[in-house]
Amino acid sequence: MAVERLLVPLSDTVTVRQTVGYAVQSGLERADSLECHLVVALPYDDAVPESARQREDADDLLSRARNWVEEDAGDADVTIETATLGADEYLFGPRDYAEIFDDYAAAQGIDRVVLDPEYQPGVTARILQPLERELDRIGLAYDEAPVERSTRRGRLTGSEDFDRLFATFMVSYGFYLVLGDPTYWFDLVTGAAVAGIVAVSLARVTFSVPLDRVQSPIRVVRFALYIPYLLWEIVKANIAVSAVILRPSMPIEPTLTQVDSRVRSGLPLTALANSITLTPGTLTVRATDQRLLVHTLIPAAREDLFDGGLEKAIRFVFYGRESAAIPSPRERDDAEIVGGDEL
């Protein structure tokens, strides 16, 4: 008697209920007995303050999903397993997710993965397309649940699109009026036209991640607070580096270091990498996912990097004050000096 083992990664989306339903139904069509593994992948590890809330949400989602499976299964022979994955590591890109699913699948003898088309783990944007590619690469069989979502989705992206268009329009119009003369009618009219063109053509490019009406303005304010701090760091680092360069013996000590940062991809990572490059003495050579390869010129700059001041500041900008209080890269053992081979 065949047993079908299914892995269903869950996230809190509109279509998660239908996905679970499809998983149970399709599993029972293929075999008499079904073993349904419901898992939630946690994006954060324990070192990060957000992880406690994520874990609560995950447990809540799992218990709901367990009820759904029991409801759909009826009298059929269905075993339910639930798990939370990735609690001990910081999951970053689709590749990380694909790998933990693969590990779990190998350990439990999973036959097939049923994916929610809207799968959206934790805080990151929708990653399904790249996740499928990574699963293909690993060679794990998956199946996308056929779900109905058109109506809901249209409304949702409608409001998101408006936010993006509006934000791009305002940025562009503001910039235009700064360039031109805000009291001249010609500039006011052409500015509106130009901002319209820019908003329509670039809104989806610039704001590839949906905006949050509450959080996004707060982030802008916090970013403004971050600028003086960054400038102060730059001045300090400049003086230190200048002192080294102008000394005739030039006591530099170049090292390559690898730092696993705890910021998300996209804007936070770019802000961190550019801040690191902007402070003389540290230079981001490579940024693959959250792993930064940083070249440091003098020991003082390396110590600053390992103390993670900039990282905490970036976390403050994007995730708020509570999130800024994380252990430094040195304390959580994410910073190491590597040789030239790592390039």
Partner 1 sequence: MADYDDTYTESQVIMTAVKIIAPFTLTYGLFMTFHGGDAPGGGFQGGTIVGVTVLMLAFAFGIEPTRQWLRNSFITGIVTGGVVIFGAIGLGMIALGGEFLEFYKLKAVFDIKPKWGLEAVEIGGISLIVSGVIISLFFTMAAGFTPDRRSGTGGASGVDIDDAPDAANAEVSDDD
Partner 2 sequence: MIEPTPLQVTLETVRFWAIVVLLGLGVFFTLVSTVGVLRLPDIYARAHTASQTDTLGAGFALAGVALAFGWQHAAVYTVLLLFFVFITNPTAAHAIARSAAETGVEPVLAEEGETDESAADTEGETR
* CA proximity to 113, closest of 93, 85, 92, 87: 85
Query: Nearer to partner 2 by C-beta: 38 or 271?
Result: 271
Cα 12 to its chain centre, rounded Å, is 16
The answer for 208, left when phi > 0, alpha when psi is -120 to 50, beta otherwise, is: alpha
Q: Which of 233, 270, 278, 299 forms a contact with partner 1 (CB under 8 A)?
A: 270
Kindly tell me which residue out of 195, 294, 310, 326 binds partner 1, with binding defined by CB under 8 A. Answer: 195
Contact pick of 43, 280, 308, 329 for partner 2 (by CB under 8 A): 280
| Closest CB to partner 1 among residues 189, 325 | 189
Tell me the CB-side half-sphere exposure of residue 169, using CA atoms within 13 A.
12
Q: Which stretch binds partner 2 (CB under 8 A): 45-53, 68-76, 149-157, 238-246?
A: 238-246
Separation of alpha carbons 84 and 56, rounded Å: 11
The first and second tokens of residue 155, run together, are 């409304």
Q: By CB under 8 A, which span of 39-47, 150-158, 188-196, 318-326 interacts with partner 1? A: 188-196
Regarding 110 and contact with partner 1 (CB under 8 A), the answer is no
CA torsion sign, 145 to 146 to 150 to 151? negative
Residue 196 binds which entry of partner 2, partner 1, none, CB below 5-8 Å type-dependent: none
> Can you tell me the distance from the alpha carbon of 32 to that of 66, in angstroms, rounded to the nearest whole number?
19
All residues at 6 or more sequence positions from 262 whose CB lies less than 8 Å from its CB, including other chains: 47, 48, 90, 290, 311, 315, 326, 334
Q: Is 290 in the site for partner 2 (CB under 8 A)?
A: no
Q: How far is the CB of 343 from partner 1 (least distance, A)?
A: 8
What is the identity of the amino acid at 14? V
In the region spanning residues 273 to 292, those forming contacts with partner 1, defined by CB under 8 A, are 273-274, 284, 286-288
> Distance from CA of residue 118 to its chain's centroid?
16
Residues that bind partner 2 (CB under 8 A): 178-179, 181, 234-235, 238, 241-242, 245-246, 250, 252-256, 273-275, 277-287, 293, 295, 297, 339-340, 343
Residues that bind partner 1 (CB under 8 A): 133, 168, 171-172, 175-176, 179-180, 186, 190, 194-195, 197-198, 201-202, 205-206, 208, 265-267, 269-270, 273-274, 284, 286-288
